[in-house]
Structures are given as C-alpha cells and as structure tokens.
Amino acid sequence: MGNMVSQTKNKIIKSKYGRIVQHGNGLIYFFIQDDLSIDSDSAKEMVEIVTDLDNSGQVRLVIVQGVNVELTFGAQRYFGSTKGFSHLALVIESRLQAEVGQFLITMMRALHSPYEIKLFHDLEQAEAWLLQI
C-alpha cells in the first residue's frame, strides 16, 4: 500500500489520541493510537484538534483506527452530531472495526448527522473518495 500522506506541505500534530496530519491535498488524516478508550470529553478534544487545523466547516477527514479502540456511547453520539465536517472516511482493518463502523454509520443516520461517512478497507480508496468530492 502506497503512502500518499508522505508528500510535501504536511502539518503534523502528535496528541495523546494519536497523530493528526493536515495534508497539502486538503485532507486531514487522524491515525488513532492503539488501546484507547474514547469518551465524550475525549471526543470533544479530538474534534477541537481537527477543527483548529481547518475551521472551514467543510473538513474532509480520514480516520485510521488503531487496535483496541473503544468508543463510548457518549463519544459516538458526539461524533455523530458534531459540526464542521463534510465527509469522513473510516479506514478499518478488522471485522470488529467493520461492525462498530457500520453501527456508527447507522447511528449517525438516525441522528441526522450533518456529514457523510463511509467505511474503507484501504487508505488509497478512502483518499480517492474524499479527493473527488
């Protein structure tokens, strides 16, 4: 798998939640660290980090989940209703991540989320989807 993230004009932030890269292509990548439990307060902090990088209200975000990442119901609800994003690509690597991701999509639809989310097994496919928008 190639790594489009290694091109020029990147701004990289390291946080307690993982690594955030603002790429010259207009996308923001959030590589979530392993063994992390995310509650609603953590979710708010994560959104603030991203929206501080891009406050356009139209953030196109790629999330690459780590292993053993747990989202509380409060975090899921917050992520599903937060503003400032236009599209979110969730890159998954395991069956459990796929199940959780699909549940999150269903919940976001029920909450009438203001942005579109899709699941991908491949980073390049996620990038291609976001870059054509």
Residue 86 lies in a domain: yes
Residue 49 lies in a domain: yes
Question: pLDDT of 37-82, one tens digit each?
Answer: 999 999 999 999 999 999 999 999 999 988 998 888 899 889 888 8
- Characterise 121 by phi-psi region: left (phi > 0), alpha (psi -120 to 50), beta (else): alpha
pLDDT of amino acid 2: 47
Residue 69 lies in a domain: yes
Residue 111 lies in a domain: no
What single letter denotes the amino acid at residue 8?
T
- Characterise 96 by phi-psi region: left (phi > 0), alpha (psi -120 to 50), beta (else): alpha
Residue 43 lies in a domain: yes
Task: Name the pLDDT band for 1 (thresholds 50, 70, 90).
Answer: very low
The mean of the pLDDT values for the chain is 90
User: Which alpha helices (H) appear in the chain, and where do they start and end?
Assistant: 40-53, 73-81, 95-110, 123-131
Predicted TM-score (pTM) of this structure? 0.88
Residue 114 lies in a domain: no
Residue 123 lies in a domain: no
Residue 71 lies in a domain: yes
Q: Supply the range of the domain harboring residue 31.
A: 18-94
Rounded Cα distance, 12 and 2, in Å: 19
Report CA 7 to chain centroid distance, whole Å: 20
Task: Name the pLDDT band for 111 (thresholds 50, 70, 90).
Answer: confident
How many domains, in total, are found in the chain? 1
